[in-house]
Amino acid sequence: MKLFRWIILSLAGWYLLLITIHYFNQRPLWNDEQCILINIEQRSPADLFSKPLNSLQVFPRVYLFLMQQFSLHFDCRLLALRFLPFVCMFFAFWVWMRIASRELKSRISLAIYTLCWAASIPLVYYAAELKQYSMDVLVSGLCLWCLYRGFSRWWYVLPFLSFVSYPAIFWLPLFGWNLMLLGRDKGQWRPLMTYAAVTLAAIAVFYYFDVRISNSKLVGSFWGGYFISFDSTGGFFNTLGKSLNNLISRWFAEKPQWIRGGSRFFVGIGLAYMLISFWPRFKRDQFV
């Protein structure tokens, strides 16, 4: 067992070394990063929360504001621009390792899990890119960790994570569900009411200062299959379908199309298994 412990520590150290070397490599900004830099340099803080971003970009406004204020203090040098993404991925790795160590009982499984991080090109690459993806990994890890730990007052803070990470929105119903169970089983309804009030307030602010001004129709038409349009009911479901299809299949292969098509079959099996597994849990909680 000590051998696997050292293997896990070595793999974890290898991943951290990879992202650190990648961060200090200071490769030139590529197209997407240049588009974000344009907004950092040319948009005032007031503009960030009141106008669509330049270059058809979509970015959590509060997180972009934090990046802007930090990097401008260092004349937008490469290390400053990529510092927050690097820090986010560093702590995301720590959070997800804590989750895995709690969930995976076998040292071998934990070693394989750690190896998956060290072998993942996206998890290494996005640790040093001027984008929001490492923050998404961190926020998702924090949300899952809070679910594991059970209810605490920190849950009331979670709705505000949507200001820095769009995927946080999809985690919020899970916390509401658990608070509903808490109210039904123990008669404690105040946490659910408080959480619902905070969530509605956070979503309203998020919509007004972010979604409302994102020009989703133009962005959605240009980046078809990558963003969801909220301009009409038909446009929403059309772009939702394309986005889900892209999300499911793109990570397996870009081309040829037959490989992307085949990947949907296997992901579909996983989704069906997840839904089937949910039903016994739903019955166990006596909702049917």
- What is the per-residue pLDDT for 230? 66
**Three-class SS state of 127:** helix
Across 58-71, average pLDDT: 96
Phi, psi of 63 (to 5 degrees): -65, -40
Distance CA(22)–CA(128), nearest Å, equals: 6
- What is the per-residue pLDDT for 112? 93
Phi, psi of 213 (to 5 degrees): -105, 15
DSSP character at residue 215: -
Planar angle of CA 152, 153, 157, nearest 5 degrees: 120
Residue 49, classified by CB atoms within 10 Å of its CB into exposed (0-12), middle (13-18) or buried (19+), is: middle
State pLDDT tens for residues 169-186.
999 999 999 999 899 889
Token representation of residue 108:
């071998």
* Total residues belonging to the chain: 288
Distance CA(93)–CA(87), nearest Å, equals: 10
- What is the per-residue pLDDT for 243? 76
- What is the per-residue pLDDT for 264? 77
Res. 239 pLDDT band, cuts 50 70 90: confident
Higher pLDDT, 78 or 2: 78
State pLDDT tens for residues 181-202.
899 889 999 999 999 999 999 9
Residue type, position 187, single letter: G
Token representation of residue 118:
């060290």
- pLDDT(288) > 60: no
In the chain the beta strands, taken as DSSP E runs, fall at none
Instruction: List, as one string, the DSSP characters of 249-269.
Output: HTTT-SS-HHHHHHHHHHHHH
Across 94-119, average pLDDT: 93
Res. 1 pLDDT band, cuts 50 70 90: low
Higher pLDDT, 88 or 229: 88
**Helical ranges in 187-249 per DSSP H:** 190-209, 216-222, 233-249
A 10 A CB-CB count for 223 gives 14
Higher pLDDT, 220 or 24: 24
Helices 83-103 and 2-24 pack at an angle, to 10 degrees, of 160
52: preceding bond cis by omega (within 30 degrees): no
Q: Is the pTM of this model over 0.95?
A: no
Distance CA(288)–CA(284), nearest Å, equals: 9
Higher pLDDT, 76 or 285: 76
CA-nearest of 114, 179, 115 to 146 is: 179
Q: How far is CA 91 from the centre of its chain?
A: 13
Contacts of 96 (CB under 8 A, 6+ apart): 117, 137, 141
- What is the per-residue pLDDT for 240? 76
Token representation of residue 10:
């070595």
Cα first-last separation, the chain = 44
DSSP character at residue 271: H
- What is the per-residue pLDDT for 201? 97
Across 15-33, average pLDDT: 95
- pLDDT(256) > 80: no
Q: In whole numbers, what is the pLDDT of the chain averaged over residues?
A: 89
